[in-house]
Structure 1
Amino acid sequence: MFGQPPSPALLDLVGDPVLTLRSDLSALRANPAARAWLGTDAAEGWRLLRQAAGSRLETWLRDAAHAIDTGRAPPPAPPLKLADGQRATLHLLRDRPNWLLHARLSAADPGEPPLGEWMALSPLPMLLADAASGAVLRHNAAFSQLCAGTPRQLNDLPDLLQALLGWSRGMPVPALSSLRAPDGPLVTEAEFVDPQGRHCWLQARLRLWRQDGRTLLQAVLEDQSLLHERDLAHQQLDALMDTAAVGLATFQPEGGWLKAHRKSAPFKGAGKGGVGSLQGISRDIVEPASLPEFERLQRALKKGDPVEVRYAVRHPELGRRWLLTRVAPGLLAGGRRTTSVVTLDVTAQAQAENALLLRAESERAVLDSVLVGIVTVGPDGIEWMNRSARRMFGCELEDVLGQPMGVLAPEDNEHAFHAEPGSDVFECRLRGRDGREFWVIGNAVQTPRDDGAEGGTQLTYALLDIDRRRQAEAQSRLAQASLARIIEGAPMAITLHEAHSLRIVKLNQAAAAMGGRSEAQLLGSGPEALFGAQQGERVAADMREALASLAVVQREYQVPAGSGTRVWDTRLLHLAGVSGDDAPELLLLVASDVTEQRAAEQARLQAAISQRELLVREVHHRIKNNLQGVAGLLQQIAARRPEVAPVLKEAVGQVQAIAQVYGLQVGASGPLVLKRVFDAIVGSVQRAQGRVITTTAEGGALLDDWCLPEAEAIPIALSLNELLGNALRHGDGAAARCQLICDPAGVTVEIVNTGHLPDGFELQNVRSGVSGLGLVRALLPRRSAILSLEQQGTDVLCRLELIPPSVVHNPATKPSS
Structure 2
Amino acid sequence: MFGQAPSAALLELLSDPVLTLRADLSTLRANPAARDWLGGDAIEGWRLLRQAAGSRLEIWLRDATRAIDAGRTPPLAPPLKLAGGQRATLHLLRDRPNWLLHARLSAADSDEPPLAEWLALSPQPAALADAGSGALLRRSGAFDVLCPGAPRHLNELPDLLQALLGWSQDTVLPALAAQRPQDPPLLTEAEFVDAQGRHRWLQARLRLWRQPGRTLLLALLEDHSVQHERDLAHQQLDALMDTAAVGLATFQPEAGWLKAHRKGSPFKAGAKQPAASLQGISRELVEPASLPEFERLQRALKKGDAVEVRYAVRHPELGRRWLLTRVAPGLLAGGRRSTSVVTLDVTAQAQAENALLLRAENERTVLDSVLVGIVTVGSDGIEWMNRSARRMFSCELDDVLGQPMGVLAPDDEGHVFHGEPGSEVFECRLRGRDGREFWVIGNAVQTPREDGGLRLTYALLDIDRRRQAEAQSRLAQASLARIIEGAPLAITLHEAQSLRIVKLNQAAAALAGRPEAALLGGTPAQLFGDELGTRVAADMREALASQAVVQREYAVTKGALSRVWDTRLLHLAGSDDTPELLLLVASDVTEQRAAEQARLQAAISQRELLVREVHHRIKNNLQGVAGLLQQIAQRRPEVAPVLKEAVGQVQAIAQVYGLQVGASGPLLLKRVFDAIVGSVQRTQGRVITTAAEGGALLDNWCLPEAEAIPIALSLNELLGNALRHSDGAQVRCQLICDPCGVTVEIVNPGRLPDGFLLQNVKSGVSGLGLVRALLPRRSAILSLEQQGSDVVCRLELIPPSVVHNPATKPSSG
Which interval holds the TM-score relative to the shorter structure? 0.5 to 0.7
Matched with 1:377 is 377
Residues 287/446 of structure 1: CA separation in 2 closer, same or farther (3 Å cut): farther
Residue 591 (1) aligns with residue 586 (2): yes
Residue 777 of structure 1 deviates from its aligned partner by 0.6
Structure 2 residue identity aligned to 1:764: Q
1:462 aligns with 2:425: no
2:321 aligns to what? Answer: 320
Are the equivalent residues in 2 in contact too, given 1:376–1:459 (CA < 8 A)?
Answer: yes
Structure 1 letter corresponding to 2:691: T
Query: Residue deviations 1:71-97, cap 9 Å, x none?
Result: xxxxxxxxxxxxxxxxxxxxxxxxxxx
Shift of 1:585: 3.4
Verify the 8 A CA contact 1:421 1:445 in the aligned structure 2: no
Amino acid at match of 2:731: A
Question: Taking structure 1 as reference, are residues 357 and 347 closer, same or farther at Cα in structure 2, changes over 3 Å only?
Answer: closer
Q: Map residues 753-768 of structure 1 onto 2, 5 A cutoff.
A: 753-768=748-763
Q: Any conservation in 1 of the 2:726–2:748 contact (CA below 8 Å)?
A: yes
1:381-407: CA deviations, max 9, x gaps?
A: 222223333333332222222222222
Is contact 1:620-1:665 (8 Å) kept?
A: yes
Q: CA deviation at 1:645?
A: 2.1
Aligned position for 2:553:
556
Question: Matched residue of 2:754: which SS?
Answer: coil
1:583 Cα deviation (Å)? 10
Tell me which of 704, 715, 730 is aligned to 1:735. 730
> Is the CA contact 2:731–2:749 (under 8 Å) kept in the aligned structure 1?
yes
Q: Residues 565-594 of structure 1: CA distance to partner in whole angstroms, max 9, x if unpaired?
A: 2223333333342xx569993333333222
The 3-state SS of whatever aligns with 2:611 is helix
For the Cα contact (< 8 Å) 1:784–1:803, is it kept in 2? Answer: yes
Q: Which moved more, 1:565-574 or 1:782-791?
A: 565-574
CA distance in 1, matches of 2:707, 2:578: 65
Match of 1:770 in 2: 765
The answer as to whether partners of 2:544 and 2:579 remain within 8 angstroms in 1 is no
Per the alignment, residue 609 of structure 1 pairs with 604
User: Is 1:637 aligned to residue 620 of structure 2?
Assistant: no
Paired with 1:757 and 1:381, the residues of 2 have a C-alpha distance of 126
Matches within 5 A, 1:18-417: 283=273, 288=278, 314=314, 319-320=320-321, 349-350=349-350, 357-417=357-417
Shift of 1:780: 0.5
Equivalent residue for 1:709? Answer: 704
Which TM-score applies when normalising by structure 1?
A: 0.56
1:525 pairs with one of 522, 537, 540: 522
Cα pair distance change 1:785/1:313, threshold 3 Å: same
Say yes or no: does 1:751 pair with 2:746: yes
Q: Structure 1 counterpart of 2:552, which letter?
A: R
What one-letter code is carried by the residue in structure 1 that aligns with 2:739? P
Query: Counterparts in 2 of 1:589-738, with a 5 A limit?
Result: 589-738=584-733
Partner SS, residue 349 of structure 1: helix
**8 A contact 2:312–2:320 mirrored in 1:** no
Q: How many angstroms does 1:358 deviate by?
A: 4.8
* Partner of residue 498, structure 1: 495
Q: Deviations over 1:255-281 (max 9, x none)?
A: xxxxxxxxxx999xxxxxxx9x98656
Q: Distance between the aligned counterparts of 2:675 and 2:244, measured in 1?
A: 104
Structure 2: how far apart are the matches of 1:353 and 1:781? Answer: 92
Kept in 2, the 8 Å contact 1:323–1:347? The answer is: no
Instruction: Give yes or no for contact 1:493–1:590 (8 Å, CA) kept in 2.
Output: yes
RMSD: 3.8
Alpha carbons 1:552, 1:572 under 8 Å: kept: yes
Local SS of the residue matching 1:770? coil
| Residue number in structure 2 paired with 1:566 | 563
Deviation at 1:769, TM superposition (A): 0.9
Residue of structure 2 in register with 1:784 after alignment: 779
In the alignment, the residues of structure 2 paired with residue 648 and residue 747 of structure 1 have an alpha-carbon distance, to the nearest angstrom, of 31
Quote the offset at 1:445 in angstroms.
1.6
Q: CA separation in 1, counterparts of 2:358 and 2:743?
A: 100
Aligned equivalents of 1:593 and 1:563: distance in 2?
A: 17
Q: Is the 8 A contact 1:371 1:388 kept in 2?
A: yes
Helix, strand or coil for the counterpart of 1:605?
helix
In 2, Cα distance between equivalents of 1:739 and 1:816: 21
CA offsets per residue over residues 700-748 of structure 1, 9 Å max, x none? 1111111111111111111111111111122212231111111112111
Instruction: Assess if the C-alpha contact under 8 Å between 1:372 and 1:464 holds in 2.
Output: yes
The secondary structure found in structure 1 opposite 2:442 is strand
| Matched residue count | 509
The answer as to whether partners of 1:573 and 1:589 remain within 8 angstroms in 2 is yes
**What's the % identity of the aligned pairs?**
84
Alpha-carbon offset, residue 322 of structure 1: 6.8
Question: Counterparts of 1:746 and 1:759 in 2: how far apart (Å)?
Answer: 32
Q: 1:526 to 1:635 in 2, by over 3 A?
A: same
Deviations 1:639-659 (A, max 9, x none): 233222222221111111111
Question: Corresponding residue for 1:38?
Answer: none
**Secondary structure, counterpart of 1:606 in structure 2:** helix
* Cα distance, 1:670 vs structure 2: 1.4
Cα distance between partner residues in 1 of 2:789 and 2:579? 91
1:319 counterpart SS class: strand
Find the aligned partners of 2:264 and 2:606 in 1 and give their Cα distance: 93
Partner in structure 1 of residue 451 of structure 2? 453
| CA distance 1:629–1:352, shift in 2 (3 Å) | closer
Matched residue type, 2:565 = W
User: Counterpart of 1:659 in 2: which secondary structure?
Assistant: helix
Alpha carbons 1:428, 1:439 under 8 Å: kept: yes
Q: Distance in 2 between matches of 1:291 and 1:671?
A: 102
Q: 1:544 deviation in Å? A: 4.0
Letter in 2 for 1:425: V
Alignment of 1:418-457 (within 5 A): 418-435=418-435, 439-449=439-449, 452-454=450-452, 456-457=453-454
Counterpart CA distance in 2 for 1:647 and 1:583 is 81
Matches of 1:720 and 1:351, distance apart in 2: 101
**Alignment-mate amino acid for residue 733 of structure 2:** C
- Any idea what the Cα deviations from partners look like across 1:410-461, whole Å, max 9, x if unmatched? 4444444334323333444544334555554433222233xx112x122222
- Cα distance change, pair 346–754 in 1 and its aligned pair in 2 (3 A): same
Instruction: Measure, in 1, the Cα distance between the counterparts of 2:351 and 2:808.
Output: 100
Residue type at the aligned position of 1:813: T
The alpha carbon displacement at 1:532 in A equals 2.8
Tell me which structure has the larger Cα radius of gyration.
2
Any idea what the Cα deviations from partners look like across 1:124-146, whole Å, max 9, x if unmatched?
xxxxxxxxxxxxxxxxxxxxxxx
Aligned in 2, Cα 1:654/1:280: closer, same or farther, shift over 3 Å?
A: farther
Point out where structure 2 has 5 or more consecutive residues left out of the alignment: 1-241, 246-262, 283-310, 326-343
- Which whole-Å CA distance do the structure 2 matches of 1:491 and 1:355 have between them? 65
User: Does the 8 Å contact 1:495/1:505 carry over to 2?
Assistant: yes
Change (3 A) 1:598 1:751: same
Change (3 A) 1:558 1:793: same
Does the CA contact (< 8 Å) of 1:322 and 1:348 recur in 2? no
- 2:555–2:565: 8 Å Cα contact kept in structure 1? yes
Q: Which runs of 5+ in 1 are unaligned?
A: 1-243, 248-264, 268-274, 293-310, 325-343
Q: Distance in 1 between matches of 2:423 and 2:532?
A: 59
Q: CA deviation at 1:615?
A: 1.6
Structure 1 pair 629–313 and aligned structure 2 pair: CA distance change class (3 A): same
- Counterpart of 1:507 in structure 2 is 504
Deviation at 1:365, TM superposition (A): 3.5
Moved more, 585-594 or 689-698: 585-594
Name the aligned partner's letter for residue 560 of structure 1.
Answer: T
Secondary structure at the counterpart of residue 529 of structure 2: helix
